[in-house]
């Protein structure tokens, strides 16, 4: 009988150990393989190369930039410059990518088939993503990138949480300036020399709306605008892509009298900032909102001594957590200092 009890006890102990071991190792269970479209990633990527600047921006925002060992030359964001370049998005250096022991390349649809084939022949998985055209597509992109880099459960949740954080932060900027009406226009010039803006319904137009200002071209259906509409809209602020824009406006007799232009209520925000939908998007909306609603309300302050307006509330920079409200108002609010660079017309350049 003792022998039988000993055997039963041993079996029970072994069974318990097996259950415990399964529970301990189960935290990663089901994470991989990951399948996105027709591409399967068999295990968690350790060393990744990202060729597209928007994808790199999002990957940085959700915290997986630590896996980046290489970047496309277009990924020129300051926070990514520590990562070595591997060349262009369409024709990167295969030898350089291999030298970093890369196990995954994240690309866009510009990667040529010859480069893709060489990478796959070298045993490197290649996955491509398209540029989102709506916030719904952007949310899907966040989740898919998180899933590829962190797994079906952990990564997917991290991507979803990253998107929610982004939208929540942008909404907080807009809420901070609610009740104050200002109008805005964003302008750039196409290769054919036509003056353009973001058409209604585009994700870029929606990004602009998070600044809290009213876009005078909110109902514009096409990119190319009629200069007469700009004149009629008389925006409080004008943001632009390059120095060609203020030059275009000043050389046009009817547009040269725009109050925003002559009151130096203009600033350069590169067009690519609206196509980088992670860390850069958050910074861009914050900077534009700060210029229009915070800096403009501090008349006595110099550009290096900008303080938030008490009537607007304080804008919290993207990298900082908002402070808890106190029962008694403080006489001295926090201040944010910005060092601006100006162009030859006195416009602020970012």
Burial 265-304 (b: 16+ CB within 10 A, else e): bbbbbbbbbbbbbbbbbbbbbbbbbbbbbbbbbeeeeeee
Q: Residue 314: what pLDDT?
A: 58
Question: What φ, ψ does residue 104 adopt, rounded to 5°?
Answer: -150, 135
Distance of CA 12 to CAs 15, 16, 18, 20, 338, Å? 5, 6, 10, 12, 67
**Alpha carbon distance 232, 31 (integer Å):** 56
Residue 2 lies in a domain: no
Q: What is the mean pLDDT of residues 73-90?
A: 98
pLDDT mean across residues, the chain: 84
Q: Residue 321: what pLDDT?
A: 55
Q: Residue 28: what pLDDT?
A: 65
Number of separate domains in the chain:
2
- Band (pLDDT 50/70/90 cuts) for residue 253 is very high
Q: What is the mean pLDDT of residues 159-171?
A: 98
- Band (pLDDT 50/70/90 cuts) for residue 29 is confident
Q: Where among 171, 201, 220 does a domain terminate? A: 171
Q: 144 and 88, same structural domain? A: yes
Q: 311 and 185, same structural domain? A: yes
Question: What φ, ψ does residue 70 adopt, rounded to 5°?
Answer: -160, 155
Q: Where among 171, 198, 231 does a domain terminate? A: 171
- Band (pLDDT 50/70/90 cuts) for residue 316 is low
List pLDDT tens digits, range 94-137. 999 999 999 999 999 999 999 999 999 999 999 999 999 999 99
List pLDDT tens digits, range 194-237. 999 999 999 999 999 999 999 999 999 999 999 999 999 999 99
Q: Residue 27: what pLDDT?
A: 41
Q: Residue 209: what pLDDT?
A: 97
Q: 297 and 222, same structural domain? A: yes
Q: 122 and 247, same structural domain? A: no
List pLDDT tens digits, range 291-312. 999 987 654 333 343 333 333 4
Q: Residue 243: what pLDDT?
A: 96
Q: 160 and 70, same structural domain? A: yes
Closest alpha carbon to 131 in 281, 275, 272: 275
CATH code for position 251: 3.40.50.1980
Residue 25 lies in a domain: no
Q: Residue 106: what pLDDT?
A: 98
Q: 314 and 195, same structural domain? A: yes
Q: Residue 296: what pLDDT?
A: 73
Is the pLDDT score of 328 beyond 70?
A: no
Q: 342 and 214, same structural domain? A: yes
**Cβ atoms of residues 269 and 350 within 8 Å:** yes
Is the pLDDT score of 171 beyond 50?
A: yes
Contacts for 140 with CB less than 8 Å, ≥ 6 apart: 132
Residue 138 lies in a domain: yes
Q: 284 and 214, same structural domain? A: yes
List pLDDT tens digits, range 31-62. 999 999 999 999 999 999 999 999 999 999 99
Q: What is the mean pLDDT of residues 254-273?
A: 97
Q: Where among 138, 171, 204 does a domain terminate? A: 171
The residue count of the chain comes to: 350
Domain that holds residue 117: 34-171
Closest alpha carbon to 127 in 42, 30, 29, 57: 42
Q: Considering the entire predicted model, what is its pTM?
A: 0.81
């Amino acid at each position: 009988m003792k022998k039988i009890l000993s055997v039963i006890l041993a079996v029970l102990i072994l069974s318990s150990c097996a259950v415990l071991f399964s529970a301990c190792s189960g935290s990663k269970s089901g994470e991989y393989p990951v399948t996105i479209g027709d591409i399967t990633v068999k295990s968690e990527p350790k060393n990744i190369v990202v060729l597209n600047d928007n994808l790199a921006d999002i990957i940085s925002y959700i915290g997986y930039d630590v896996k980046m060992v290489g970047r496309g030359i277009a990924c020129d964001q300051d926070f990514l410059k520590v990562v070595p370049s591997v060349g262009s998005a369409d024709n990167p250096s295969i030898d350089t990518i291999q030298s970093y022991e890369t196990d995954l390349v994240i690309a866009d649809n510009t990667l040529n088939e010859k480069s893709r084939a060489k990478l796959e022949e070298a045993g490197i998985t290649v996955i491509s993503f398209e540029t989102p055209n709506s916030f719904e597509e952007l949310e899907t992109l966040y989740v898919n990138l998180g899933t590829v880099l962190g797994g079906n459960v952990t990564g997917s949740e991290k991507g979803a949480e990253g998107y929610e954080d982004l939208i929540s932060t942008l909404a907080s900027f807009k809420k901070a300036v609610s009740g104050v009406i200002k109008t805005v226009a964003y302008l750039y010039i196409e290769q054919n020399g036509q003056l353009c803006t973001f058409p209604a319904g585009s994700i870029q137009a929606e990004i602009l709306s998070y600044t809290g200002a009213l876009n005078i071209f909110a109902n514009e259906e096409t990119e190319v605008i009629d200069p007469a509409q700009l004149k009629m809209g008389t925006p409080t602020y004008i943001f632009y892509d390059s120095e060609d824009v203020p030059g275009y406006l000043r050389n046009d007799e009817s547009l040269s009298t725009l109050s925003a232009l002559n009151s130096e209520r203009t600033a350069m925000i590169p067009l690519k900032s609206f196509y980088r939908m992670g860390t850069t998007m958050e910074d861009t909306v914050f900077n534009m909102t700060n210029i229009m609603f915070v800096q403009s309300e501090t008349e006595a302050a110099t550009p290096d001594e900008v303080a938030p307006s008490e009537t607007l509330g304080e804008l919290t920079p993207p990298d900082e957590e908002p402070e808890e409200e106190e029962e008694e108002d403080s006489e001295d609010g926090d201040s944010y200092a910005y060092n601006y660079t100006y162009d030859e017309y006195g416009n602020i350049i970012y």
